Amino acid sequence: FNRILWMPAYGSRPAPEVSIRVMDHLQWCNSKTFFKSERSQFFPGAKARAPMPVMVHTNYHPDKHKRMLCVIDRYLNGKVNACDHFPGGSEPGT
């Protein structure tokens, strides 16, 4: 499917008539990207190198609500270290 999206219309082949959006994965990330795989980009909060995300989808970890609240505290309430105490994975020490 993705390959067809990038093929231009030609001859009798019509354009797919869809929009293609290429997004920075650090600005549109999920909780696994934010807390685990790209952790060094976001933590510690006071020294974060990643740009402020447009969205963090908190669906990977079992403690979704707590992590969602810390993201809100960090980016909307200005508490830059609000998420620093969370482990990378779902268990402490990960």
pLDDT digits (tens, 9 = 90+) for 24-70: 888 989 999 999 999 999 999 999 999 899 999 998 888 999 999 99
Position 56 scores a pLDDT of 92
| Rounded distance between C-alpha atoms, residue 53 and residue 11, angstroms | 41
Q: Going by C-beta distance under 8 Å and a sequence separation of 6 or more, which residues neighbour residue 50?
A: 26, 38, 41, 42
Q: What is the pLDDT of residue 38?
A: 92
